[in-house]
Amino acid sequence: QMAYDSEHLRVDCVQWIGAFPSDAIRYELPNRCLLPLTNEADKQRANGLLNRCYIQREVPQWRSEIQFLLETGTKFEIEALSACSLTFLSERYLPSNIQR
């Protein structure tokens, strides 16, 4: 947040750890695995992230993922990906994300 004050407060790169909101569609999660984004604090957090300078300039994919979250009004926990199969996370999801 304060990277504009000093280059020494800034990291060289950041990585998204965890599931992307669009993974719900990519992996065809059943609706029962989706949670409504009804908490105002969640919405404020997402909008706050959209306003951060590094989100706007350096990681446009994150911006589109956060916008997708707000547009769909749903979220999910990474454990929901196990709905595909018990070994889905370890055998398919994580390896494909590491390669990507």
d(CA 55, CA 16): 12
Q: Which residue has the higher pLDDT, 7 or 62?
A: 62
Domain ranges of the chain: 21-93
CB count in 10 Å sphere of residue 60 = 10
Separation of alpha carbons 33 and 35, rounded Å: 7
Cβ-contact 36, 90 below 8 angstroms: no
pLDDT digits (tens, 9 = 90+) for 22-72: 999 988 888 999 999 888 998 999 999 888 877 777 788 889 999 999 999
Sequence-distant (6+) residues with CB within 8 A of 74 are: 21, 24, 34, 35, 36, 37
Reported pTM? 0.74
